[in-house]
Amino acid sequence: MPPKFSKPAAPAPAPVSCVAAASTKRQRLCPDYENDIHCNLRLREKNAEERPLPDYLKKVQQDRVSESERASLVGWMDKFVRDHDLADGTLHHAVAYVDRVLSVRSLTADSGYELRLLGAAAIFVAAKYEDQRAVWKLKADKIASYGEFTTGKEVLDMEREMVEALGYQLGGPTAHTFLGHFMRYAEEEDKTKILPLATRLVDQSLLDYTCVRILPSVVAASAIFLARWALNPVVDLAWNMELEELTGYNCSDLTACVLVMCVFSGSIICNPRS
């Protein structure tokens, strides 16, 4: 039998607002639609139906899953994605799916097995969302073998139940989405230096439960701030007017997230070129 979840009442929708549009200091890549794209991304990241609850481990799961168990699952999912050479963005969407499902439906008693099965199904869906070729690269039986599940049917059953729990809304923007969005005007040197380090930082943020309550755009902007500071601590300012205009955030808006990210990514920041 496929695992079942119990479903609590849905959370009340959160208010949404749009922020300043993208910078006009550099040539726009898609001038007719860029402001609309930017505004839509910022509205969607605040959509209550596409956001996890900030305290779902306690409020919904009632401590059936700990922060360390969640981090272990994300680490396993990361290895899964790397072992199967899946498209960029797959892991971020998959982790978002897991957090959102666990925000609306509680696990059963055998939470370890069920949690890993949910993570595998989330990768299965995210991989197909990011790259249609994943349909041929990933098969349910192959996933079952990799995750040591009983049958491929378990994976498919969990996939159907998960997508239903998500309300069939699979495309919400992640920190990975915003990182690419904010770096679209970057000079080539920044793309070869700042972007790789910022990518490592946003990937690392997936492991930390604290970041669940932080908007993806704030995580992405904070990663750029830290990457710039780590690589050029003396020569350049970590933040400037152009980045503020492009992201819609000033330094004070990023302070709390930057401090959180410094705690869990200290080794990356201290050795940015390793």
pLDDT digits (tens, 9 = 90+) for 241-264: 889 988 999 999 999 999 999 988
The pLDDT value given to residue 56: 95
Sequence-separated (6 or more) residues with CB below 8 Å from residue 200:
265, 268
The 3-state DSSP class for residue 99 equals helix
Both structure tokens of 73: 């699952």
Distances, alpha carbon 204 to alpha carbons 67, 146, 223, in Å: 14, 23, 10
**Sequence spans of domains, the chain:** 54-165, 175-270
The pair of structure tokens assigned to 15 is 């208010």
What torsion, rounded to 10 degrees, do the Cα atoms 244, 247, 253, 258 define?
A: -100
Predicted pLDDT of residue 109: 62
Pick the range with the lowest mean pLDDT from 135-139, 199-203, 259-263, 266-270: 266-270
More confident residue, 231 or 274: 231
Q: How far apart are CA 169 and CA 93, in angstroms?
A: 11
Rounded to whole angstroms, the Cα distance separating 243 from 225 reads 9
Predicted confidence at residue 22, as pLDDT, reads 43
Rounded Cα–Cα distance for residues 185 and 208 (Å): 29
The b/e string for 156-173 (b: 16+ C-beta within 10 A; e otherwise) is: bbbbebbbebbeeebebb
pLDDT per residue over 153-200, tens digit each? 999 999 999 999 999 999 899 999 999 999 988 777 778 889 999 999
As a whole number, mean pLDDT of residues 221-230 equals 93
Same fold, 54-165 and 175-270: yes
With vertex at residue 81, the alpha carbon angle to CA 79 and CA 86, rounded to the nearest 5 degrees, is 155
Class of domain 175-270: mainly alpha
Between 18 and 53, where is the model more confident?
53
Question: Is residue 2 over pLDDT 80?
Answer: no
| 244-249-251 Cα angle (round to 5) | 85
pTM, two decimal places: 0.86
**Selected residue with higher pLDDT from 268 and 248:** 248
Rg (CA), the chain: 19
**Token pair in block for residue 7:** 């479903």
| Model confidence at 13: pLDDT above 70 | no
The CATH number that domain 54-165 falls under is: 1.10.472.10
